[in-house]
Structure 1
Amino acid sequence: MDKLLLIYNPVAGEGAFKENLDEVVSLLQKKGYQVIVHRTSNDEDLEIVINNSKNFIDVVTAAGGDGTIHQVVNAMLKNNLTHVPLGIIPVGTSNDIASYLGIPFSFFDAIQIIGSRKVKNIDVGEVNNSCFVNVASGGLLMEVPHTTSVKLKNLTGRLAYYLKGIEQLPNLRPIPIKISCPEETVEEEILLFIILNGSIAGGFKNLAPAASMTDGKLDVLVFKPVPIPRLLSVFVKILRGDHFGDASLKYFQTAGPIEITCEANVGTDVDGEKGPDFPMYIKLRKGLLPVFVPSVNFK
């Protein structure tokens, strides 16, 4: 039997996963896996567990939101486990990675994909000393996910982020930034930037429709300073998927590397986790990570 290390976040989704843990383990066993369960508590603990398991595990599975997946992938890469497939069971508030990969939000349907053993190698972004699967971003709204209470997130889901973001809109001020890559240089005042590996971020499914985790490119969106009513209209356009060509946005693709410098004291975010300080050095590692997906024809 293949040995599967199951890592779960006990607080994601108001603890919904742990209430179904026994049945999840049973289903994975029926799919031919010997299951080793780890309840994640912090990054250091996770790295130790994966390091201690790396010589005998065949599969790593992360049950949680984007932040949990981010932590698990970083621990895997630090332990050179790029040959071990990653399974994903979506739980919690933010599941943009699972949405992009087409992984069902039902625990039990997600297990069917892990049991099918269909694997696709995806690109992984690298920023300073860590990696990201889906997105790296920066600007004056980047503190929202980290200042929203767990209780509010569990009660209202992604709406909690939007409510907190609206609360912060009156405080928005342009920030001076320089984004440099072989294809483009942006040096001006902006509101925020979003660098995508996949096409979904913040629940916006049409944010970068051309983005792909297998194309060896990153998609860059830069939001220019505009009055708040104008900014809200841009977000409405993003919901509809017709924001490209809007004068308040700059969009381009790059194979990297990207260097971002900023003198202002603003936050950054990687896969829903607090990101590094500036300067940010970003590159893409093509086809680095094998992931269980619904179809090997996934793009």
Structure 2
Amino acid sequence: MSVAPLARRRALMLVNPNARRGSEALDPVIARLAQGGVDAVIERFETPEEVSADIARRRHEADLVIVCGGDGTINSAAKGILETGLPMGIMPMGTANDLARTLGVPDDLLKAADIVAAGNLRRVDLGEVNGCPFFNVASMGLSVDLAKGLTPEAKRRWGKLGYALAALKVATRAERFRAEIVSDTGRVKVKTLQIAVGNGVHYGGGTKIHADATINDGHLDLYSLELKNVWKFGLMLGAFRRGEHGAWDEVRTAKSTEFDIRTETPMPINTDGDLVTETPAHFIIRPDAISVFAPRRP
């Protein structure tokens, strides 16, 4: 389906060649964008650090940025998008594509191109931990071990199944850790397997951070997984997929615009799939921080 052309716009298309679908031919996508009035210039990068730097360096050459990759790739673009104020389009070429799922951007790249060409913009919140931005979720504990064990090769070979296989392996040797959680409602000390702070809706290949979460609700959603027996986590998987895990006694939940988390020893923190910082951690929300191309109704 072709789209009605708008005034011609220039797009900087940043491609992660190491993404699960990073080797796919993009000529049909470029042609589809051109039909909709978007002239795209492709730039492939080798390291995540290049992404935001390229956006900032070429800000005057583009009217919009299109990020081609998964959630980690999009996360790498966040600082550049925030600094320049350029609107962002998404070509979901990763494994989980959780931000695309939250926004209603389809995996079909031609349909995703139509969304960019249509020009409908939506303002979304951005989470931040120790100055590092995230769209979906930032977490410590189980998810960090999962991120370490889920190699790019495993993602390409197994896709979303790779998350389940890696999670099963991690869960068998998981240990609880002590942490203090501070928010506007007070402070609490916990012994937990995982603490996650969500800005968006989906993470981990479609799991929901909270049943009622949106990516523009102006607050962060936290949960702490305080299980004594890891095997019980298997019984809770359905609730986690639906975002209803707060109904279990072993799961602590909270909403706030700001959290501080401290641990006995520094613990690494995973943001949108990549390890970027460690505790002590200061989380904040940046409401309506970024403009993204999205369907009018996800």
The answer to whether the superposition gives a TM-score over 0.5 is yes
Measured after TM superposition, the shift of residue 242 of structure 1 is 4.2
- The residue that corresponds to 1:282 in the other structure is 283
Q: What is aligned with 2:3?
A: none
Task: Return the alpha-carbon distance in structure 1 between the equivalents of residues 266 and 142 of structure 2.
Answer: 9
Q: Secondary structure at the match of 2:172?
A: helix
Question: Does the CA-based 8 Å contact 1:140-1:266 persist in structure 2?
Answer: no
User: 1:147-226 residue pairs with structure 2 within 5 A?
Assistant: 147-226=149-228
Contact 1:176 1:264 in 2 (8 A): no
Q: Deviations over 1:36-95 (max 9, x none)?
A: 211021133223322221123110010110000000112322xx212x110011012121
SS at match of 1:12: coil
Aligned to 2:295: 294
**Any gaps of 5 or more consecutive residues in structure 2?**
1-7
Partner of 1:6: 13
The alignment's TM-score, normalised by the length of structure 1, stands at: 0.91
Give distance in 2, aligned partners of 1:172 and 1:75.
36
For 1:63, the aligned partner's letter is C
The residue aligned with 2:99 is 97
1:36 aligns to 2:21 (yes or no): no
Cα 1:65/1:216, change in 2 over 3 Å: same
Give yes or no for contact 1:176–1:189 (8 Å, CA) kept in 2. Answer: yes
- Contiguous gaps of at least 5 residues in structure 1: none
1:267 aligns with 2:272: no
The residue aligned with 1:131 is 133
Cα distance in structure 1, aligned partners of 2:186 and 2:232: 26
Deviation at 1:134, TM superposition (A): 1.2
Higher mean C-alpha deviation, range 227-236 or range 280-289:
227-236
How many residues of Structure 1 are paired with residues of Structure 2 in the alignment? Answer: 291
Cα distance change of structure 1 residues 46 and 175 upon mapping to structure 2, 3 Å threshold = same
| Alignment match, 1:81 | 84
Q: Percent identity among equivalent residues? A: 26
Q: Which amino acid aligns with 2:99?
A: I
Partner-residue secondary structure (3-state), 1:98: helix
Of stretches 261-270 and 156-165 in structure 1, the one that deviates more from structure 2 is: 261-270
Contact 1:132-1:271 within 8 A present in 2 as well: yes
Greater shift after overlay, 142-151 or 97-106? 142-151
Question: Is 1:67 the equivalent of 2:72?
Answer: yes
Over aligned residue pairs, what C-alpha RMSD do you find? 1.7
